Structures are given as structure tokens and as C-alpha cells.
Amino acid sequence: MLARIPLVDLKAQYRSIKAEIDAAIQRVVDRTEFILGGEVGTFERNFAAYLGAHEVVGIASGSAALQLALLACGIRHGDEVITPSFTFVATAEAIIHAGARPVFVDIDPATYNLDPNQVEAAITPRTRAILPVHLYGQSAEMAALSDMAERRELWLIEDAAQAHGAEYCGKRCGTLGHLACFSFYPGKNLGAYGDAGAVTGNDPTLMARVRKLRDHGRSGKYVHDDLGFGERLDALQAAVLDVKLRYLESWVERRRAHARMYNAMLADCEVNTPPEADGVRHAYCLYVIRTADRDYVMATLRERGVGASIHYPVPVHQQPVMRKLGYDGARLPVTERVCQEVLSLPLYPELEQSQIEYIVGVIRECVQ
Ligand SMILES: *Cc1c(COP(=O)(O)O)cnc(C)c1O
């Protein structure tokens, strides 16, 4: 019998909490309070408490969260923002939408995160911010980046879109920079039933700016004293997220247990398993191995019903749009090599041991 193991199984998760989710959705519909209001406020407070952050502002998506965070820091035309190219395109897009120039810096080949040693060399008089990504759910090297940001008076903004539940030296990702941006895209560790995101932070002045920017620069019902956006988190998504937030810790623990199982079963196999850096709690938004035979392994897994996938096959600086805009000049040898070798395997809390055994069995046939 052919196995069918998707990369992410959102149906299995819904089945496990159906009654609570359905009740939350019904409550919003009964109240017909769809924009901001109590549901959004409740989720913002609960997510802030979970993170240990001073404040959370719910935003319509992770992409919008990145853009509003940059604008709240005053990033504008002529500025440069240092960021990795090995990420989802939204990170660089937000920088460009804010009017600034993304300066792509290479990654550490072990963690796939921004290499702090190369960040310093990329700082120019125009640099205003560093925007690291906690890729796959593993924190970037925040101590080195914080030091540098402080010394050079730069903003430090986390792209925590993949890092719900991740920690760095005992603190949660989302509390480590001046601001942090989360996505609640359905497949993320904490996923909504549509688009959703948040900005988190500890500075009340910055957070007030984000709050204003998300709702048309409003300071009163009919008073708009800044140019803003319509990028609010909607009440239905907030209600769903607030239910799912109660399960986040147990889900992250199960992701970590599955990752340990994969690591152990693949230990004597010719593939690189993801290392967990010292002092870091990896949240395994994605479980990513590396192998020189990536395309063959992926094709074989897919033939056998396993939804393996690639994050990311093309680095951002080599995307056609970046070429068009003239941001393709960087030479990033690690990023460019790793894109050819990474392979994401199915990982979600409801995944079963027998399924991991099956997936590893197929990989072993391919690479010995
Ligand atoms: C998902 C993701 C985003 C974008 O989030 P959306 O909610 O889809 O807009 C940004 N950065 C990274 C690293 C992501 O994984």
C-alpha cells in the first residue's frame, strides 16, 4: 500500500481540537464583531504572556508585520537593511516596500542563519537595521547581533515567522530585538485559518506606532494623523489563534520529539541532520536535512507518497524580481550551495513513529 504522508497535515490538527475551534468561530459570528475588538485584544494579551513580551499587535499577515515594523523604526528611502537571502521572499520584499535597500549577507552553513562575522563587514553609513530570520524555527545568533546593533546604533528586527516557541538563552524568540514579526500562515507552528501575523516588542513608543500604522494612522475614530494601512488582524483569526495558542507548547514538544527521532534514525546515514546550537531551543517549524543527492531523494520520496519539499530552492537575491530591481549583486557561496542540498521532510505534531520509520526507510534506499 502506498503511504500518503503530507509535509504538513492541517486536517489532523483540526480534528484534534474541532469542538473548541468550531465554538470559537461560532462565538465571533454570533457577536458579529469582526474587526479588532475583544477577540483580537484577548489573543494579543495571551500571546504576549506566552512570549514574555511587553506587547503584541495583531497584523493581517507576517509580510505586513515586517513592513509595519520597519516603518515604525523610521526605515525609509536611502536606508540599507542587512538581511539573509536564504529565506522566504517576504523578508526582502518588506524592506523594499519600506523604501530601503536589502543588503544580503551569507549564512552559517550549520544553522542556516545570518553569519554575524559577515554582518559587521556589510555595515555602511547608510545601514539602519539588521533583520535576521530565525530560519526553520532555530534562533539566529542574537547575542552577537545585539552587540553589533547596540555598538553601531542600528535597529534589530527579528523575522520570527518560523519561530513560535523557539528560545535563545532562556528567552523566547520574539523578545530578542527592538521589534519582532510573526506570521500565522496556516502551515506555521501557530497557524490561523487564513492570513494573519503580529508584531511583538517591549518598547511602548514603537508598539504604539505599529498599532497606529495597522489601522490607517488613526488616533481617534475620524482622526488620521499619520499615513497608515488597513493591515489589522481580523477577529475570526484571533479567535482561532487563541484556541490554538493553548496547545502550542505541547505541539512544539512533539515537533522536537519527532526531530530527535528523525535525527537518531538518520544518524549513520549519508545526510546532514539539523543541529541544535548551544543555548537554543529549536522549534522545528520545518525539519530540514541536507544531501548532495537532494533532487533524487525528493523525487523518490514523492513517488512513494511522501510530501517532501524545498525551503528554498532559489535564494532571494537570485529571484527574477531582485535581478530586475538590481539587488542581485551579492556573492553568497554558502546560500547558493545550500539551496541545492536542503530537503524538508514531513513534520507536524500528529505525525506517527511508523510514518517517520517509513520516510527514513525510503531515504536509506536512496543514499545508503
Ligand atoms: C511565512 C513567512 C513570512 C511571511 O508571512 P505571511 O504571513 O505569509 O505573510 C515571512 N518570513 C518568513 C521567514 C516566513 O517563513
Reported as type and span, the H/E element at residue 23 is: helix 18-31
In the DSSP assignment, the letter for residue 36 is S
Question: What local confidence, expressed as pLDDT, does residue 3 receive?
Answer: 72
Q: Using only the alpha carbons of the chain, give its radius of gyration.
A: 20
Buried b (16+ CB within 10 A) or exposed e, 60-70: bbbbbbbbbbb
The answer to whether the CB of 286 falls within 8 A of the CB of 258 is no
Closest atom of ligand 1 relative to the 184 alpha carbon: 7
User: Grid coordinates standing for 47?
Assistant: 500571546
Question: What local confidence, expressed as pLDDT, does residue 37 receive?
Answer: 87
CA of 310 to the centre of ligand 1 (A): 15
Ligand 1 binding pocket includes 248 (Cβ within 6 Å): no
Alpha-carbon 70 to chain mean position: 16
pLDDT tens series, the chain, 368 aa: 457 999 999 999 999 999 999 999 999 999 999 999 899 999 999 999 999 999 999 999 999 999 999 999 999 999 999 999 999 999 999 999 999 999 999 999 999 999 999 999 999 999 999 999 999 999 999 999 999 999 999 999 999 999 999 999 999 999 999 999 999 999 999 999 999 999 999 999 999 999 999 999 998 889 999 999 999 999 999 999 999 999 999 999 999 999 999 999 999 999 999 999 899 999 999 999 999 999 999 999 999 999 999 999 999 999 999 999 999 888 999 999 999 999 999 999 999 999 999 999 999 999 97
CA of 92 to the centre of ligand 1 (A): 11
Ligand 1 binding pocket includes 237 (Cβ within 6 Å): no
User: Grid coordinates standing for 146?
Assistant: 545585539
pTM, full prediction: 0.97
CA of 312 to the centre of ligand 1 (A): 13
Question: What local confidence, expressed as pLDDT, does residue 2 receive?
Answer: 59
Closest atom of ligand 1 relative to the 285 alpha carbon: 15
Report which protein residue has its CA nearest ligand 1's atom 5.
Answer: 62
The answer to whether the CB of 343 falls within 8 A of the CB of 288 is yes
Question: What local confidence, expressed as pLDDT, does residue 326 receive?
Answer: 94
Residue with cell 531523494: 297
Cα distance between residue 145 and residue 139, in whole Å: 12
In the DSSP assignment, the letter for residue 131 is -
